[in-house]
Structure 1
């Protein structure tokens, strides 16, 4: 059995989408970050950075229990465990990993800062708002260029790169982004949104 410790954030939903796609049995343990449950000692033992998601798999490498934190690492672990949603071709695999890391390093942290300063900051910080709005728009354009002529992020097949990027794109309103200005991303979002396991994963916890 897999135990998923998560909350309804883009990073959490990456992993719930993946688990739904893989059809693996798992149990959801909500960690209410609005109530600071991520700082409780029991969760700290699993996730030393006090961030969701975290995952515990009783059947990890060599049949031993494994505890994981960081959503990108969890996606990669599950893909390698099952051989699904990651290309077997070495060149395509590198392409997938590049876009996974692009999400982890850019289309996540910068969009998260846009969420903070545009929606949640208690004081108005015009410089920060403009900085993160501009970088968010740039990253959306990078993704739009990549998706031109493709069904999914790296081509014809779904990968963990799609699962990582999609939940962040779906927070476009918090980023003050109009998806219709990025037609290739917009079409991809619609395709992703029609996949049943994506729909289920986006509803958890």
Structure 2
């Protein structure tokens, strides 16, 4: 089963208070937009660039450059959203009114984006300060810390 379908199923089944979702239709649709954006645009490209960078860097420079450029383009879209470039208000999270709210859009996207250093250099990421802040902000959440902590990694 696809991870986005699983995430949406779990949200419907277990998140009756919309802790990670939205009651407002506009906000809910914005959240779904970012879930689908990452699922269709970010994850496939980042998966490919990580694979080719780690498995055949000397053999496939064309593939590496193509997928790196696509991931950087996708990171640029996330940067625009988080920067508030078109809304005038910087966002803390991908979806929701105002600064946004931690939601399934962030839950879907963050685990992939946080691993940028597997395929990119810091100099590649310097153009995305709001994205880097978002990565750090989510990493500091207590539940995220438990999820990525030593106890999780040992299992």
Match of 1:181 in 2: 127
1:70 aligns with 2:2: yes
**Secondary structure, in 3 states, of the residue corresponding to 1:112?**
helix
TM-score (norm: length of structure 2) = 0.82
Q: Which has the larger radius of gyration?
A: 1
Unaligned runs of 5+ in 1: 1-68
1:139 pairs with 74, 79, 95, which one?
A: 74
**More helix by proportion, 1 or 2?**
2
1:62-117 deviation digits (Å, cap 9, x = unpaired): xxxxxxx2211111111111233111111111100010001110110100000011
Q: Which runs of 4+ in 1 moved over 4 A?
A: none
Query: Distance between the aligned counterparts of 1:86 and 1:132, measured in 2?
Result: 31
For 1:141, what is the secondary structure of its paired residue? helix
Q: Distance in 2 between matches of 1:134 and 1:96?
A: 25
Select the structure with the greater relative contact order (CA < 8 A; seq sep ≥ 6). Answer: 1
Give distance in 1, aligned partners of 2:32 and 2:114: 21
Change (3 A) 1:128 1:86: same
**Count of matched residue positions in the alignment of Structure 1 and Structure 2:** 137
- 2:71 is aligned with 1:127: no
Determine the C-alpha separation between the residues in 1 that align with 2:59 and 2:28: 43
Give RMSD over aligned pairs: 1.6
TM-score normalised by structure 1 residue count: 0.63
